[in-house]
Structure 1
Amino acid sequence: MPISGTGIDIVEVSRIKKLMEKDERLKNRVFTDNEIRYCERKRKKYHHYAVRFAAKEAVWKALGKGGVGLKNIEIRNRSNGQPQVYLKGKRLDPLKILVSLAHSRDYAVAQAIVVE
């Protein structure tokens, strides 16, 4: 599997929380309905929003393409907890993207690798 792109992103959880509290519409502009449902069920929901935001940014960087909106990138968890990337849009469908997520009390980080 040749690697065709990589991306990494780190965000402060407090920054994401502050932005989302300031602008309620931000949630719906950036996150899919599935992501919102997932995060809202969590006790530390802003940690989950932050790590998904970092993942979307990492995927966007790994794709190296403009014109891909963050809402077209969806992060879901498999039943075993492993994160998985789903892309919306015809030109994105055949791509395989591996993603790794982590968060601490203050930060959320994600790495994405696009493989052919």
Structure 2
Amino acid sequence: MPRWARGWPEALKARAARYALQRWLGPFLEEPLRLEQLGLDLRGGTGTLRELRLRAAAVDELLAGAGAPLELREGGVGAVTVTVPWAALGTEPVRLRLSGLRLVLRP
């Protein structure tokens, strides 16, 4: 965990994490993140978001940019786990793991 966050109350850490995740993932989500969706272990460098609905227009832009002749009708993710390597931040990658990915696509 970074030194600057060590003295923060857990509720404040959760709100700060939600803010950062909303900023990075928000454009791809149908609804704003809720604290109830967030599980945190900042000391271990992990956070998990559960039951996310994907915003079709944002996914469609990615598909079009990749040249895929598909559109998203609806989609969701059961869980997104973010792992931050605090001890090696800047030299090791931040990792995202998706589980329970559901996509309904059409040509």
Shorter-chain TM-score tier: 0.3 to 0.5
TM-score by length of 1: 0.36
Larger Rg: 2
